[in-house]
Copies of this chain bind each other. A is one copy, B any other.
Amino acid sequence: MAHADRLPTLAVLRCFEASAKQESFTAAAEELGLTQSAVSRQVKELEEQIGTPLFRREGRGVRLTGAGRALADAVCGDLERLRRTIYHAIAAGTGPQVLAIAAPPTFAARWLVPRLPKFRDLHDGLEMVVYSRSEPFDLYKEQIDVAVHFGGWDWPGAQLSPLCPETLVAVAAPDLITRYGVSKPLDVLDMPLLHLSARTHLWEEFAKSLGHNGLALRQGSHFDQFSLVISAALAGMGAAILPTYLIERELNDGDLIRLADVTTDAVKSYFVATPMGKNLPLAASFTAWLRKQVIQPRMD
């Protein structure tokens, strides 16, 4: 394949990418900090190189053609890849090694990242790039070497190895507990309850497991991330059900008090996911190391 290599310029591709996303040259121009004129001409150039109209000009406004949409999808992916490649190279600095890691936001912030320096110290010249991402995405496309996954064995294209089960506990700030005079687990339900939007059933399940009817337990404040629930709990806003892994420090320091263990029948737990087929030794070593970090399931 002698590269007669008629690749369109990056300028061209970026203009097309933005235009396709927005289906508007003016908007794309704004996004790119260019004028509409520039974008218009760049897109036209791409159309000439490809030999096919990519947008249908409809009076004012443009719409992607079929060919345009197909190309846009591909090009967006390719550019994103290229950006990541460059980004990783910058992060790697002088060393040849970067490990690209993804994990759910709160898990990353509270459990994973604090432990990373130890791993980094074991490997000379290693740098890391951490992405917070919740759940199944394409490891290959996004160029992630290792991802922490919470859920089941349900990640196609990923090599999963179990990390640890989730251990849930009901907690609250000490002064809140004093105020409500909690003595037995069921008392917890009298306090204001804090919820994670994605898992609103937790309190109900907990209540049921204690013999409570479990009705109307979804009221209370809702948050879309564990970190927010944690902040709220620390602020004494209510009781929360949280994974122990995310509040190790708070439990140790007594900023949050464990009120009851929560058992859930959902068979979800933490996994380490690596891209299938790809065989990066560093990723394997990181996986092994991660699993070792979790041997001491509780430290309180």
Contact = CB atoms under 8 A, between A and B. Distances in A.
A83 to B, nearest CB: 6
B51 A276 contact: no
Given A5-B83, A52-B90, A138-B277, 10 more contacts: A7-B10, A7-B14, A7-B82, A9-B10, A67-B96, A70-B89, A70-B96, A74-B85, A78-B81, A156-B277
A61 interface: no
Interface in A250-299: 276-277
Contacts of A156: 276-277
A3 interface: yes
Interface string A182-216: 00000000000000000000000000000000000
Interface of A: 3, 5-10, 13-14, 49-53, 65-67, 69-71, 74-75, 78-79, 81-83, 85-86, 88-90, 92-98, 125, 138, 140, 156-157, 276-277
A239 to B, nearest CB: 35
A52 B277 contact: no
B52 A67 contact: no
A17 to B, nearest CB: 10
Contacts of A95: 66-67
Given A10-B9, A10-B10, A86-B50, A92 B78 contact: no
Given A14-B5, A277-B156, A67 B93 contact: yes
